[in-house]
Structure 1
Amino acid sequence: MYTLSKVMENSEVINFSSLEKEVQATLEADRKYRRENDAKFRALNQNVASYEEFRDIVLASHLKPLDRKDISEAPRKQPWNPVAYRTKQESNSDEQDQLHLSEIEPRSASEFIRDWRRLTGGPFEKYDLLVRLGGETLEKIFKTEIGLGLLGEFLLVLSRGLKPRDVYRVIGVLDGLTRTGRFSLGLSLLSQAEKKASVELFQKLQGSIDKHHSAKDYSCDGLELHEPSLQDNMNDISAKLKEVTEKYNIEK
């Protein structure tokens, strides 16, 4: 089928290196011809739907399926225990994402939610964040709207973490939340557990006020009052709590 050209280094000596390359090229051309020809017959027998499919079969005729040896000797990139590997990766990612409470200064709802989800210290750390930010800041952050489910989550956190010395601050947080966007909608969508937590929260607040109503020492063991005009007037705090309680539709 094919003829070999005469390759001579000179008139008497044969260049075997060039001759070998030409032989190899001829053999490879012959193998390619047979391989593609067989692929054409296979494509015809498969009744391919288009010329593109026919062409792809012919062009891929040089590809060979992997055998077990190829698979076993290939470098393994998939971990033997993907569950443990993924857990380790997530753990490393969590360590990088951890935040210190003092570093959190959200200026928008999206920033708050991002930082809120990254807190790893549990409900008490989230409680400290809400108390530290205060009602006025939360009101500004969620001026447009308070995200779906956040109000209920806040009530659960505040109820579980309430400290007697934070009563005035917590009332301020609750009051600030009533002025956020779509507060009424969020209130109407509270789950039974969240409604129960809100009732318990207001009961705890009222109980702390009643307990310290006549106290003269407002130390860290009692109410921590930050407004001088209120330190000697517990009635004002009670009135504020009553006002906020009505906004949350808490029935006594």
Structure 2
Amino acid sequence: MEEAGAIDLCALEKELQAALAADEKYHREDDAKFRAVHQKVASYEEFRDIVLASHLKPLERKDKMGQRKNLVWNSCARKDSLVDCFFLKELDRLPGTSAEFYRDWRRSLKSGHKRYQLLLQLGGHSLGRIFRADLGFGLLGEFLVVFSENVQAEDRGIVLQILQSLSGTKRFGLNVDLLSQPERESCRDLFGKLQRMGRNSDTHGISDSGVEAGLTALTKEQREYSLHLFIQVI
């Protein structure tokens, strides 16, 4: 039986650990704020996401090897593209929040092809959920460039589905207004390709499971809306 007034070492240790964790969190977020200011981020949302992601650390080589990756694949993605999606070995898992997406988009995935595959694997539903609050500054233009440079006929339905979701994000009109001239040209090029792909598919009677899966969730009016909304505002 402990004597009255004796020090509870377990409680003291827990209190000390909590204080150290709080102090570490403070300094980590403070450093992230200085980095964000130094990088001259363009919006508060991007600044906030950098701070929120300050606790995330890149995987070490030992973390990447010998571990099975349990990934949830987008059922709309075409089967022959799944081979390309082994690029996801560079990621611990598919991003589920905007902070995780920014981290992977900026740091892990440098090539347009890998970014394109990530967008396809997430699909319109997941991207709409991730960016339901706001689509970060600059991302819309980057998405359009990636799609323009990499879109394939068999991905047409999935790409339209993604664009439909993006057009429903908050401040979409502002993001469109902030597109650079090269990004606007990429947008025109993308929709020109999508329209030609649609005409070629109808002319040759092409039936692709990826296109059908991507378009199933969209009505005719929604498809027309997603196809023309960008063109009208640009």
TM-score with structure 2 setting the length: 0.57
Q: Does 2:207 correspond to 1:225? A: no
1:193 paired to 2:182: yes
Q: Cα distance, 1:171 vs. partner?
A: 0.2
**Amino acid corresponding to residue 218 of structure 1 in structure 2:** S
Give the alignment's Cα RMSD to 1 decimal. Answer: 3.2
Is 1:214 the equivalent of 2:203?
Answer: yes
- How far did 1:240 drift? 4.1
Alpha-carbon contact 1:119-1:125 (below 8 Å) kept: no
**CA distance, structure 1, for counterparts of residue 136 and residue 190 of structure 2:** 21
Higher normalized contact order (CA 8 Å, seq sep 6+, divided by chain length):
2
How many residue pairs end up in the alignment? Answer: 153
Q: In structure 2, how many angstroms separate the alpha carbons of the residues matched to 1:124 and 1:157?
A: 8
Instruction: Measure, in 2, the Cα distance between the counterparts of 1:228 and 1:155.
Output: 19
Q: Is it true that 1:176 corresponds to 2:165 in the alignment?
A: yes
The unaligned stretches of length 5 or more in structure 1 are 1-92, 231-235
Q: Residue 105 of structure 1: CA displacement?
A: 1.9
- After superposition, where does 1:33-44 map in structure 2 within 5 Å? none
How far did residue 244 of structure 1 move? Answer: 1.2
Shift of 1:214: 3.4
| Aligned residue in 2 for 1:248 | 230
Aligned equivalents of 1:228, 1:120: Cα separation in 2: 27
Query: Using the alignment, how far apart are the partners of 2:147 and 2:168 within structure 1?
Result: 18
Query: What SS does the aligned partner of 1:225 have?
Result: helix
Amino acid at match of 1:184: G
Which consecutive unaligned segments of at least 5 residues does structure 2 have?
A: 1-57, 65-85
1:122 equivalent to 2:78? Answer no
The DSSP-based 3-state class of the residue aligned with 1:212 is: helix
Structure number having the greater helix percentage = 2
Q: Within 2, Cα distance between the matches of 1:197 and 1:246?
A: 15
Do the aligned partners of residues 249 and 109 (structure 1) sit closer, same or farther apart at CA in structure 2, a change above 3 Å counting? same
- Other structure's SS at 1:145 match: coil
SS in 1 for 2:170: coil
Match of residue 88 from structure 2: 101
TM superposition shift of 1:225: 1.7
Change (3 A) 1:131 1:229: closer
Among 149, 154, 178, the residue aligned to 1:160: 149
Distance in 2 (CA, whole Å) between partners of 1:200 and 1:170 is 14
Contact 1:135 1:176 in 2 (8 A): yes
How far apart are the structure 1 equivalents of 2:215 and 2:147? 25
Q: Deviations over 1:106-143 (max 9, x none)?
A: 22111110011123450011011111111111111011
Moved over 6 A (4+): 227-230
Counterpart CA distance in 2 for 1:175 and 1:195 is 17
Distance of aligned partners of 1:159 and 1:95 in 2 relative to their CA distance in 1, 3 Å threshold: farther
For the structure 1 residues 227 and 143, does the alpha-carbon distance in structure 2 shift closer, same or farther, using more than 3 Å as the test? Answer: closer
CA contact (8 A) 1:167 1:224 kept: yes
TM-score normalized by structure 1?
0.53
Confirm or deny: 8 A CA contact 2:134 2:169 kept in the other structure.
yes
SS of 2:145 mapped into structure 1: helix
Q: Distance in 2 between matches of 1:248 and 1:192?
A: 14
- Find the structure with the greater CA-based Rg: 1
Alpha-carbon contact 1:135-1:172 (below 8 Å) kept: yes
